[in-house]
Structures are given as structure tokens and as C-alpha cells.
């Protein structure tokens, strides 16, 4: 790229899809949009291809485990997953296992989930415990990770804290908390959680995820690299052929793509407008009807979540589908949650405001039932785990309930085997029709290269740039 004509280079990344732009939609919104929805943040990052081996190589996966994962903030739980003292979850990723435990004072601590005697995992499932006793020989630790007791202390004078002066406490990871989300970082030091997430905390002040709870959790093993699967959810324009049923109400290639620094990006996908890939529609009422039929976030799937009655959403003459949908959702959410949504924009009530935080945390913004994705590498570079949460707003004055339990789907199961996902299960299955064959194709590739669009795939470019900063030692601490 260094030898490219600078006059040409300044123009790269400026092309946009035909049809109405995100900025034009914001100008037409029935409410005044906040700056977070109007201030574009895009920079061209080059057009060089990505080596396919980043998705297929065990050596590259090893570098991720050694040079990236220990130094980043990893999303591990929501506060409602462990609401009471003694509640804990088991979080496993990139060769590590952690016990994330609620303490008596409300704090949360994260300890390595490995007995310091013979190495057995102390727990394999979440639960409630004031003490972690190893099922192998009975070494025990308190819920804060401090050593409690061991059998046959007479045989271990060399590690018995009472006689050796050494600590036998479980090694700890750093814990950070924001808006109901719980994160850990294996290696302490580096940017604070708030610095790492910036500008996410400022953006999400409006949407108050701390007042939400997980009403659904489904995870599935997928036969593709974690980056292959994650990157499929970082752009909207695959809707053209992968999700054609969404085109009547989704401005897929009219979406906005913004990035900030190394860690945070967003895809702003407008709903309630036709895709520019539809030559001729059937009117504004048709757009609304198709939205109600196929949009998985309208609230219809989630018990107890407010949503507008689909039969009541009629589009008056001279009113757009977006405005009609926005008005219906605005009234319904205000009535059933007790929170005033009068100033909420149509975009915040309808659109896919899909954020990503490096490396694998993706919360949706806005006031609809919010999807939260995260992806974890599998036992080989050719598999991963994808988890989907749905957050619902808890009515004003009601306590946050305990979060929904996780349903885990095997490699051979389909997303549609989790009926609680509703229409989202069908959408995810359409993605699965592609992803295993993407992984196979990356292994089979003759040139070994992946090419990205300059604008619609800028989030993938940012992610890959940041990943390589860790792999090459510019961020984190590279290990020999």
C-alpha cells in the first residue's frame, strides 16, 4: 500500500451503497438522535488480504493463547448469573479454567479452578458453595480462594502454610464489572476495564443494561474457527443471499460501520426500510408486516418482555414503516416497563446496534430485547463455542431476577433445537449453512488469502489489526 498514489488512497473506503444512508435515516427520525448515533467514526485501514492460516493453524492458535488471551478483558458472566454469596460459575477458555465466585460483601473474585495438590479441576459446573473441596483428595479452599484445609497435613510440611510459611491460596485473575457484566483478565495490569471498553460505557448510559436480566442463554459448538464465526456477525451485507427473508425490512448494505481505537466497533443496521437489493416493494404496511413476521428481536419470543401487539401496528397514510414501528414500540415499552421512552429514537427502538469489543464480546444497544454474543475457541482451530444471550428490561421497581440457565447444544444439534430462540434459531441455522464450509475452504485455499471490503468489513479489519498487535508483541507482553 505504501506505493499507492496518495490522491487515490484518500478516496479509498469512501464508496457507499445506493439507497438511503444511515445519516439520512437519522435526519428523518421522529426523535432527535444522540451524538452516538450521528457522529461517524470511520478510517480506511488498507486493503491487504488476510492470511487464511490465522483461522486454520494450530501454531497461530497457540500464539493467541500465549500472547493475546491472558492480557485482554474477557466477558465471563452477568451479575444475575451469581446473585447470592457463594454462587459461582466455571469459566473456561484458551486452556484456562476459573471459578468466578460471589463473596459475602457482594464482591466477585476469580480464581484458577485447579487443585494445587495433583491438579484436578475443583468444579466442572456452576453452583453455590462456601468452600471448594477437591473431589480427589479433599484439599479445600474458601470461596475467596484462600486455603482452608488438607487431609494428612503431616505428609506435606513443604507446602503446609502453617509449617512452610508459603501461601497455598488459589492464584487469582483480575475482575472488572460494568453495567451488569463481569469480566476477568488473567494477567493483572494494563488498561482498566473502563479504558478497555471506551467508548462503550458512554454509549450505553442511555440503554441501562444494569437494569436488564438474562432471560435466555443458548450456546452451541460450531465446526469453524472462533474468528470465522464471530466475523460472520460483524457485517450485515451477507443478508443478500444468506437471509433473504429479512430483506423487505432490513437496510443491509445501507448500514453504518464505525470503529474506535483498537477495541470497539459498531454495525448500525437499519430496520423498517427495504434493502436496496429489492427492486420493488409492496408498500410501507408490507414492510411492517414482514418485520413482525421475521424480526427475532420484536419481543414476541420472550416471556415477560414488553412488545407491541403486531396486530395493532397499522401504518397510516403518509407515515413510514419506521415511524409506525417506532411509535408502537415506544408506547408498548413505556407501558410495560414503567420507564419513559418518549425521547427514544426510532433507531433505538428498532435497529440492530451491534457493538463488538475485542476480542469476542458483542452486546447490542438500544431498547429492544438485547442480544449479547460471545465466541470462544474450541479444542482445535476448527471448532468454537458460540453463546447467545437475550437481555430483557426488568419493569421499574422490580428486583433483578436470577439469570436464565445455559442450554448447551452439541456439535450435531441445530440452533432450532432451542425453541426458546424463536425465529432467531432459523436465522442462525442459515449462517451455519455457510460457516463449516468457510472453514473447509480456508484449509483448501490455493492462494491462502482472505479479501475484505474497505467499508462493510472494516470491523473485521480493525479486529485483525488489533489481534496482530498482540501476536507481534505491540500490545500485551509477548512470551518466548
Alpha-carbon distance values, 251 to 1, 108, 236, 422 (Å): 32, 42, 9, 22
β-sheet bridge partners, residue 386: 220, 375
* Same domain? 313 vs 424: yes
How far apart CA 254 and CA 237 sit, in angstroms, is: 9
Please check whether residue 190 lies inside any domain of the structure: no
Specify burial of residue 24 (Cβ count, 10 A radius: 0-12, 13-18, 19+). exposed
Number of compact structural domains in the chain: 2
Same domain, 24 and 86: no
Residue 480 lies in a domain: no
Residues 217, 252 within the same domain = yes
User: Domain boundary residue among 164, 180, 196?
Assistant: 180
> Do 95 and 47 share a structural domain?
no
Give the per-residue pLDDT at 395: 95
Beta pairing class for 181-185 and 212-222: unpaired
User: In 3-state terms, what secondary structure has residue 419?
Assistant: helix
Per DSSP, what are the bridge partners of residue 303?
none
Show Cβ contacts of residue 479 under 8 Å, excluding neighbours closer than 6 positions: 66, 67
295 and 330 part of one domain: yes
Range of the domain at 78: 74-180
Q: Is residue 228 part of a domain?
A: yes
Q: Do 249 and 291 meet the contact criterion of CB atoms below 8 Å apart?
A: yes
108 to 77, 172, 357, 435: CA distances (angstroms)? 11, 11, 22, 36
Do 216 and 164 fall into the same domain? no
pLDDT of residue 389: 97
Instruction: Please say whether the beta carbons of 207 and 371 come within 8 A.
Output: no
**Cell reading at 241:** 443471499
- pLDDT value for 12: 80
- Does any domain span residue 191? no
Task: Identify whether residues 135 and 256 lie together within a single domain.
Answer: no
Closest of 265, 84, 108, 105 to residue 177, by C-alpha: 108
> Are 143 and 226 within one domain?
no
Domain C-terminal end among 145, 180, 215: 180
Length of the chain: 480
Please indicate, yes or no, if residue 355 is contained in any of the structural domains: yes
CATH number at residue 105: 2.102.10.10
404 contacts: CB under 8 Å, gap ≥ 6: 214, 215, 216, 217
- CATH code assigned at 424: 3.90.380
Q: Residues 274, 302: one domain? A: yes
| 480 CB-near residues (< 8 Å, 6+ apart) | none
Residue 5 lies in a domain: no
Digitized pLDDT (tens) for each residue of the chain, 480 residues in all:
444 565 665 578 889 988 899 999 999 999 999 999 999 999 999 999 999 999 999 999 999 999 999 999 999 999 999 999 999 999 999 999 999 999 999 999 999 999 999 999 999 999 999 999 999 999 999 999 999 999 999 999 999 998 988 899 999 999 999 999 999 999 999 999 999 999 999 999 999 999 999 999 999 999 999 999 999 999 998 988 999 899 999 999 999 999 999 999 999 999 999 999 987 878 999 999 999 988 866 444 433 333 444 446 889 999 999 999 999 999 999 998 999 999 999 999 999 999 999 999 999 999 988 999 999 999 999 999 999 999 999 999 999 999 999 999 999 999 999 999 999 999 999 999 999 999 999 999 999 999 999 999 999 999 999 999 999 999 997 443
Task: Write out the H or E segment, with its range, that includes residue 56.
Answer: helix 53-56
Q: How many CB atoms lie within 10 A of CB 152?
A: 8
pLDDT for residue 8: 61
Q: What is the pLDDT of residue 357?
A: 98
pLDDT digits (tens, 9 = 90+) for 390-447: 999 999 999 999 999 999 999 999 999 999 999 999 999 999 999 999 999 999 999 9
Question: 142 and 285: one domain?
Answer: no
60 assigned to some structural domain: no
Tell me whether residue 131 is exposed, middle or buried, using C-beta atoms within 10 angstroms of its C-beta: 0 to 12, 13 to 18, 19 or more: exposed
- Residue 274 is placed in which grid cell? 427495504
**pLDDT tens, residue by residue, 191-240:** 999 999 999 999 999 999 999 999 999 999 999 999 999 999 999 989 88
Distance of CA 259 to the CA centre of its chain: 16
**Is 97 in the same domain as 24?**
no
The answer on 296 and 371 residing in a single domain is yes
Is 210 part of a structural domain of the chain?
A: yes
Residues 6+ apart with CB under 8 A from 55: 225, 227, 228, 381, 439, 442, 450
Distance between CA atoms of residues 410 and 405, nearest Å: 16
Amino acid at each position: 500500500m505504501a506505493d499507492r498514489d496518495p490522491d487515490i488512497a484518500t478516496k479509498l473506503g469512501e464508496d457507499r451503497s445506493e439507497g438511503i444512508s444511515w445519516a439520512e435515516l437519522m435526519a428523518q427520525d421522529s426523535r432527535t438522535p444522540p451524538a452516538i448515533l450521528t457522529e461517524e467514526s470511520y478510517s480506511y485501514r488498507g486493503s491487504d488480504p488476510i492470511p487464511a492460516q490465522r483461522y486454520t493453524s494450530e501454531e497461530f492458535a497457540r500464539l493467541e493463547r500465549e500472547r493475546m488471551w491472558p492480557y485482554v478483558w474477557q466477558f465471563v458472566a452477568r451479575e444475575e448469573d451469581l446473585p447470592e454469596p457463594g454462587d459461582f460459575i466455571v469459566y473456561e477458555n484458551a486452556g484456562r479454567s476459573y471459578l468466578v465466585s460471589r463473596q459475602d460483601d457482594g464482591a466477585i473474585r476469580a480464581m484458577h479452578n485447579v487443585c494445587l495438590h495433583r491438579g484436578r479441576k475443583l468444579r466442572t459446573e456452576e453452583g453455590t458453595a462456601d468452600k471448594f473441596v477437591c473431589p480427589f483428595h479433599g484439599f479445600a479452599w474458601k470461596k475467596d480462594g484462600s486455603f482452608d484445609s488438607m487431609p494428612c497435613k503431616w505428609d506435606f510440611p513443604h507446602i503446609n502454610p502453617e509449617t512452610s510459611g508459603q501461601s497455598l491460596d488459589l492464584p487469582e485473575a483480575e475482575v472488572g464489572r460494568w453495567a451488569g457484566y463481569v469480566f476477568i483478565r488473567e494477567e493483572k495490569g494494563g488498561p482498566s476495564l473502563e479504558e478497555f471498553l471506551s467508548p462503550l460505557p458512554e454509549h450505553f448510559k442511555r440503554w441501562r443494561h444494569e437494569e436488564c436480566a438474562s432471560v435466555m442463554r443458548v450456546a452451541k459448538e460450531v465446526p469453524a474457527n472462533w474468528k470465522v464465526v464471530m466475523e460472520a456477525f460483524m457485517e450485515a451485507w451477507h443478508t443478500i443471499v444468506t437471509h433473504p427473508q429479512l430483506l423487505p425490512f432490513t437496510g443491509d448494505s445501507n448500514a453504518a460501520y464505525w470503529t474506535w481505537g483498537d477495541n470497539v466497533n459498531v454495525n448500525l443496521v437499519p430496520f423498517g426500510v427495504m434493502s436496496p437489493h429489492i427492486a420493488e416493494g409492496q408498500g410501507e404496511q408490507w414492510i411492517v408486516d414482514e418485520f413482525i413476521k421475521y424480526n427475532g428481536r420484536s419481543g414476541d419470543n420472550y416471556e415477560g418482555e414488553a412488545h407491541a401487539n403486531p396486530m395493532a401496528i397499522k401504518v397510516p397514510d403518509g407515515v413510514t414503516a419506521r415511524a409506525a414501528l417506532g411509535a408502537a414500540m415506544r408506547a408498548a415499552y413505556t407501558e410495560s416497563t414503567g420507564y419513559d421512552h418518549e425521547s427514544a429514537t426510532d433507531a433505538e427502538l428498532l435497529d440492530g446496534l451491534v457493538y463488538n469489543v475485542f476480542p469476542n464480546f458483542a452486546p447490542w444497544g438500544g431498547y429492544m430485547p438485547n442480544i449479547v454474543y460471545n465466541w470462544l475457541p474450541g479444542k482445535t482451530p476448527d471448532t468454537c463455542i458460540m453463546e447467545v444471550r437475550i437481555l430483557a428490561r426488568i419493569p421499574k421497581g422490580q428486583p433483578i431476577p436470577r439469570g436464565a440457565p445455559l442450554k448447551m447444544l452439541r456439535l450435531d444439534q441445530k440452533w432450532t433445537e432451542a425453541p426458546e430462540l424463536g425465529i432467531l434459531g432459523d436465522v442462525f441455522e442459515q449462517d451455519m449453512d455457510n460457516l463449516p464450509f468457510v472453514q473447509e475452504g480456508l484449509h483448501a485455499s490455493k492462494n491462502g488469502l482472505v479479501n475484505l471490503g474497505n467499508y462493510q468489513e472494516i470491523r473485521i479489519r480493525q479486529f485483525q489489526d488489533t489481534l496482530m498487535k498482540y501476536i507481534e508483541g505491540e500490545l500485551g507482553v509477548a512470551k518466548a
